[in-house]
Amino acid sequence: MRKRLLPVYLIVMCALLNPVSQSFANESDDSLRGAYKASELIGKNVKTIEEKDLGEIQDIVIGNEGEVGYAVLSFGGVLGIGDKLFAVPWTSLAHSPDGEYLTLNVEEKKLENAPGFNKDDWPDMQDEQWKLVILEFYQAPQTNQKESVKNSRSLPDHTNHAHFSASQGYLVGGEGKTGNSVRYDGSMIWEGPSYATVDVDPKANEGVVMGIVRTHDHTYTILFTEFNGTESFMDGGIATDLTLHGTSGQGAPIFPKLSTPVAGWGKATVFKNDDVLYKQYPAHFMLTEAGRDEKTHQVQFLEPDRLKNFITASSSETSSENMQEIKADIHKTEDSVNPRTLQLHIVAHSNDQDEENIPPYDNFIHFMWDKITWENDKEKSE
């Protein structure tokens, strides 16, 4: 059962001994520091880093450990945002040199896409999914006890239970109807506040896989509903410690060969806001070495035309010599893979195929996340 947030009347006591703000003060001379009464902070004006007026603090949220978690801001209709409220991580705010106002360390343009809520319908601020979306949007440090994962060598045992979350996500190729959902050149990457969770039992082929990306004024959600594997390497639906794609012979050759700590296959439903976009599509998730550059979003792989030729070729269309040449080039792309970091992919596609598309399906939606965090399963060990 989730613990409730402490009542707001404890704000004054907690603000005086706020470990989060004190820690942040050590990093920046302009950050929030010292002791402040809640009454001094509520109603305080807030400006952007460009010193443009944003609004004021309406409330302060205290976590169940006594820390000041968020300032609730009203932007007063500026930036076209309207009259919603916005929970901003405490560590994203700093006092001005004269102490007359607070500065929100986010550029004005980005705030136009800030996640907000209705003043009469507050979110559950203890929900891990909600917290990660907020922290990622404001680029605030996470203060929970989770293990950040860089590569498969640092993973805890995941053959019996794989449980991790992901942030810094995006859609590759939009919502899946553009004919190209791999985008090796790094184009058409729809970024935004995002979150994913994978909590699966590989031996039982059971669990939960869900991903969310808020982008282009819509919220896209993918939810696995079942797991089953049609190939032996899929191990019944969820497999661990395998190699996929490239020249591995396992999975379509649409990426370089990737070491994969955990992957799954089955059916998923994709939602666009509250509406079903794709229902019970064949789906696949995989936690892999990084084949896509985190900054440029590019993948070093075959040119799209050569890839199409390779995927759809029959012996009469492409000579054996040309096929071997393409395979050799695919093998060379393995050098571009970064084994020091991990990425999460969740994809779903239609049953109907279109050989002109990459991958060759009528619809193919591709979610990705660059930052992986292994969960602390404390509740299961207690």
**Residue 168: alpha-carbon gap to chain centroid:** 4
pLDDT tens figures, 310-347: 666 544 455 565 667 777 777 777 788 888 899 999 99
Q: Is the pLDDT of residue 41 over 70?
A: yes
pLDDT of residue 116: 87
List C-alpha distances in Å: 363 to 184, 191, 290, 337: 18, 20, 24, 27
The answer to whether 333 and 300 are in contact (CB under 8 A) is yes
Model's pTM, two decimal places?
Answer: 0.61
Cα separation, 129 vs 139, in Å, equals 15
The answer to whether 95 and 32 are in contact (CB under 8 A) is yes
| Confidence bin at 82 (pLDDT 50/70/90) | low
Averaged pLDDT score across all residues of the chain:
79
Q: Which of the given ranges, 5-19, 21-35, 282-296, 326-340, has the highest pLDDT on average?
A: 282-296
| Topology classification of domain 8-127 | SH3 type barrels. (2.30.30)
Side chain identity at residue 327, one-letter code: K
Nearest in space to 284 (alpha carbons), one of 227, 341, 241, 350: 227
The answer to whether 369 and 344 are in contact (CB under 8 A) is yes
CA distance between the termini of the chain: 14
pLDDT of residue 133: 83
Phi-psi label, residue 134: left if phi above 0, alpha if psi -120 to 50, beta otherwise:
alpha
- Cβ neighbours, 10 Å, residue 271: 17
DSSP strands (E only) in 216-296: 218-227, 238-244, 258-272, 275-290
Three-state DSSP state, 319? coil
The answer to whether 321 and 327 are in contact (CB under 8 A) is no
Nearest in space to 370 (alpha carbons), one of 222, 149, 221, 160: 149
Domains of the chain, by residue range, sit at 8-127, 147-381
pLDDT tens figures, 351-382: 999 988 888 899 999 999 999 998 844 444 44
pLDDT of residue 175: 93
pLDDT of residue 3: 33
Cα separation, 356 vs 368, in Å, equals 23
